[in-house]
Amino acid sequence: MVTITEDAAIISAVAAILLAIFTVIELRHLEKHRNVDISMKLFEWAQEDRLRKAFRWVGQEFQLEKYEKAKAEWKISFEMSDYPNEVSSFF
């Protein structure tokens, strides 16, 4: 015959296994939620005018071959010196 303590041990073991499975499933959903949250923040950041100016400047005016010239221009305009860093930070 099975005693009450043996039944309790079996029930506890099954409950622990089910709890572990439930926790793993919830953690996977949490990871998906975090990825969506990061994507939404990047989308909001991409809508800012400052980042759009940075993309435009890097795409049209920034030329890596003329680094010394770009460095001299950056001393004139502090905002321009931050554009390459801002674009690379976005990616």
List the single range of 10-24, 27-41, 58-72 with lowest mean pLDDT: 58-72
Would you state the pLDDT for residue 29?
A: 80
For 53-58, which contacts have Cβ atoms below 8 Å and span 24 or more sequence positions?
53/83, 54/82, 54/83, 54/84, 54/86, 54/87, 55/87, 57/83, 58/83, 58/84, 58/87
- Give domain limits for the chain: 1-47, 48-91
pTM of the model: 0.47
